[in-house]
Structure 1
Amino acid sequence: MTITESVTPTTDWVAAATAVGTALAEGVAERDGSGELSLAAYDLLRSSGLSRALVPAEAGGGGATHREMGDALRELGRHDPSTAVAFAMHTHLVALQVWRHRHGMDASAVFEKVVAGAILASTGASDWVESNGSAVKVDGGYRVSARKAPASGCEAGTVAVTSIRWDDAPDGPQVLHCAIPLSAPGVSVEKTWNTIGLRASGSHTIVFDDVFVPDAAVSLIRPADLWPPILNSVIGAALPLVMAAYLGIADRSVELVAQLLRGRTEPHMVALAGEMMNAYTTATDLIGAMFTDADNLRFPNTDAHAARTLSRKTVVADSLVATVRLAIETIGGAGYSRALPLEMWYRDIHGCLFHPLPRAKQTRFTGRVLLGHSPLG
């Protein structure tokens, strides 16, 4: 399917997401089958203003709030889950820069790139604290090599926001945080994403093969095996946005149940619908609480804020999965059929379980913080 539309820029970000989602919706099933990312979707996200919506107005962006961006991702997730989740990766990186801006740090270089049309590709899922890859110090910068997966939307990306392990640093193993153009010599994308859900998110592997990274592209050098406070700000900025994209899938699932079963009175069906709504309400309310506590990206950079956000993420993920499962169960045998989109939504919704941190790692993190320890240990 070829998408040729453009979307007029607006400051009604949900309306913009509706327009983009509507343009993409017809090809969702086809892309789910092929596993191909919609590159045209990113043209629409640029032309609508959504790709730069979070950039402050004074920096040339749309001036959207954190919550408004979450609402837009939620709306996009109602139409095209794979694109919504992949786009949330770009969006959360912009949100981190807004957090830095709100705390008196200079984010102008990134803002300029995003306003000019850059799409940021995150490798955070494979980086986390220890990171991977290798870096060698050379004149003016570093030569780096690594494989980073999954990197959602990387085929449409222009800049990889990544980190590289530097084991031979003078003061012991370090991690370099850096931005690398995906057009740089030695950078390639290996198409490795082949999953049961979110198949069209383009979450492939970015390969860095002896890539030169100038000193100016390195934003942070930190010890490799200690908890870095920067990740507290990433967690607080990113997770509300990412989970909002998945909430759009739950929205559609609940709406489909209401549409197909309106007026039915069978006791078991009514009870299952009520149980579904318990899970859905839990997810919706907790995502709202995540945005409230994020305080439009003014939240404090503390282990406690990160731990609370991660606890909410785990409960939200469980509740979102339960919502779609119960939608299938409430509808009955027809819900198990591929004639309805529920089976795709059920595959897609499971992606929320794997964003940092999965349950076992989250409970350890949150428990350690509660008991007065570093999150790592």
Structure 2
Amino acid sequence: MRSMGTDPIDIAKSLIPELRKRAESTDEQDAFVAENFALLKGAGLVEAGVPIELGGGGANVEQLAEMLRTLAHGCSSTALAFSMHTHQVAVPAWRWRHQQVAAVEPLLRRVASERIILLSSGGSDWIGGSGTAERVDGGYRIRARKVFTSASPAGDVLMSGALINEGDGTSSVIHFGVPMKAAEVSIEPTWRALGMRGTGSHDVVIDGLFVADAVIAFKRPAGRWHPVFQIIATVAFPLIYAVYLGVAERARDIAIEIASRKPQTAHTLDLAGRMVTSLKAAQLAHRFMVETALRGDASAETVNAVMMGRTLVADKAIETVELALELAGGTGFYRKAGLERCFRDVQGARFHPLQRGPQAAYAGAMAMGLPVDTVF
């Protein structure tokens, strides 16, 4: 992190008190964490994952994951929303570093110099794709609704895609950046959710946006894994799930602090022991995800490894928070304690791909030596 002068993890630690000040109010009001994003931008974390050679901080997946895990100790919603920008930087940085893909340089340089915020429409644009792309002179006319677009109020460019009907019964997906200030792009405020209420994960509506052929990043068959998506799965999910690990750690800290005020019994020691054991399992599984991403390759095998880790982190993080709530007892049931917010926020770990069913099918097919190119 030479260009920033300070490690992103140290920066994240320094921001925790400020993030905690607003966490409760933004949650209760379903308000986007706009002030926190301004804080992250001012602290230099927006460009942390851009290679040093391109003007950024040069942080790798391990450092970025630790940064996000740390931010989650301050505000879960801020960390999760920021993980979507962070992985949209980390993926092209990985391609630049490991595959020498020069086409990603302009985007990465913009992130470093202008500190633009990248949005992910991953929830809408997983392997199957969504939206429509109509062929017109010089490009395509895009119409789509992209749900779960975290940090949409702060975004500058939405990294997205749309489906093309090839006319022979098949579909393809084109991928491109969507300027959020375009007249054809609007945000529909739909985000009223169980947890992660401050992420601003509203619907982005694209109504007739023209996308020129020259700015299409790549084209792929719809409904089938593509090498770029193997990179996305390998690199992005250790970052996203670092947030849920941080939520579980925060719940542990709160529960221990509450329980320490009371007389200890065999029951509380049992709960505390089960809680920290579950947390250790989540930490080990997440470490496995990070180590897989650090290998520098992306394939069906790395997707399988990362997604097995994703399920283990989700299960054990959720279990940790449940045990933390039980250990804290009735005191933890009060909203002011912060544990019930951790309980709600960690539930989001259930919903990112690959969810439990597809992940098990993918792992099972790999174990049996069967194709996985349409398992998602």
How do residues 44-59 of structure 1 correspond to structure 2 at under 5 angstroms?
Answer: 44-59=39-54
8 Å CA contact 2:110–2:116 kept in 1: the answer is yes
Inter-partner Cα distance in structure 2 for 1:135 and 1:83: 32
How far 1:337 sits from its partner (Å)? Answer: 2.2
Taking the TM superposition and a 5 Å limit, the aligned residue runs for 1:151-230 are: 151-168=149-166, 172-230=170-228
Counterpart of 1:105 (choices 101, 108, 113) is 101
* Structure 1 moving runs of 4+ over 4 Å: none
Q: How many residues align?
A: 368
The one of 65, 76, 85 aligned to 1:81: 76
2:340 equivalent in structure 1:
343
Give, in angstroms, the shift of residue 203 of structure 1: 0.4
**1:247 Cα shift?**
1.5
1:355 aligns with 2:358: no
SS of 1:206's equivalent in the other structure is strand
- 3-state SS of 1:356 partner: coil
Residue 372 in structure 1 maps to residue 364 in structure 2:
no
Unaligned runs of 5+ in 1: 1-8
Alignment-derived partner of residue 284 in structure 2: 285
Q: Where does structure 2 lack aligned partners over 5 or more consecutive residues?
A: none
Identical positions, percent: 35
Q: How far off is 1:42 after superposition?
A: 1.9
Q: TM-score, normalised by structure 2?
A: 0.94
Q: After superposing the two structures, state which structure 1 stretch, 254-263 or 306-315, moved more.
A: 254-263
Tell me if structure 2 keeps the 8 A contact 1:136–1:144. yes
Question: Where does residue 3 of structure 1 map in the other structure?
Answer: none
Alpha-carbon contact 2:48-2:57 (below 8 Å) kept:
yes
Cα deviation per residue 1:316-357 (whole Å; 9 max; x = unaligned)? 101000001000111222222223100011000111111111
8 A contact 1:11–1:62 mirrored in 2: no
Partners of 2:30 and 2:258 lie apart in 1 by 29
Matched residue, 1:5: none
- 1:134 deviation in Å? 0.8
What CA distance in whole angstroms lies between the structure 2 residues aligned with 1:13 and 1:52? 10
Once the two structures are superposed, residues 277-314 of structure 1 have per-residue CA deviations (whole angstroms, 9 ceiling, x without a partner) of: 1110001111112112211xx53221011011101100
1:169 offset after TM fit, Å?
Answer: 5.8
Using the size of structure 1 for normalisation, the TM-score is: 0.94
Corresponding position: 1:141 with 2:139: yes
The 1:153/1:169 distance shift into structure 2, 3 A limit, reads farther
Q: Is the 8 A contact 1:335 1:343 kept in 2?
A: yes
The CA RMSD measured in Å over matched residues stands at 1.7
Q: Distance in 2 between matches of 1:323 and 1:182?
A: 38
| Alignment-derived partner of residue 243 in structure 1 | 241
Q: Is the 8 A contact 2:152 2:204 kept in 1?
A: yes
Q: Are the equivalent residues in 2 in contact too, given 1:10–1:48 (CA < 8 A)?
A: no
Which residue is equivalent to 2:312? 315
Report the equivalent of 2:257. Answer: 259
Q: For residues 83 and 333 of structure 1, what CA distance do their matches in structure 2 show?
A: 28
Q: Which among 23, 33, 39 is matched to residue 38 of structure 1?
A: 33
Distance 1:98 1:83 in 2: 22
| Separation in 2, partners of 1:96, 1:53 | 13
CA contact (8 A) 1:227 1:374 kept: no
Q: CA deviation at 1:172?
A: 3.6
* 1:27 paired residue number: 22
Name the residue aligned to 2:60.
Answer: 65
2:89 is equivalent to residue 94 of structure 1: yes
Deviations 1:47-101 (A, max 9, x none): 1110100101110001112111111111110001001000000001111011111
Distance 1:21 1:155 in 2: 22
Paired with 1:238 and 1:303, the residues of 2 have a C-alpha distance of 15
Residue 170 of structure 1 deviates from its aligned partner by 7.2
Query: Contact (CA 8 Å) 1:180, 1:217: kept in 2 or not?
Result: no
Q: Deviations over 1:196-225 (max 9, x none)?
A: 100010001010000011112211111113
Q: Which residue identity lines up with residue 268 of structure 1 in the other structure?
A: H
1:188, 1:207 within 8 Å by CA — same for their partners in 2?
A: yes
C-alpha deviation, 1:251, in angstroms: 1.4
Distance (Å, rounded) in 1 between the aligned partners of 2:266 and 2:187: 52
Task: Identify if the C-alpha distance between structure 1 residues 44 and 169 changes in structure 2 by more than 3 Å, giving closer, same or farther.
Answer: farther
8 Å Cα contact 1:10/1:49 also seen in 2: no
CA shift digits 1:158-216 (9 cap, x unpaired): 00001101114679411011111111220011011111100010001010000011112
Matched residue SS, 1:160? strand
Please state whether the residue corresponding to 2:370 is helix, strand or coil: coil
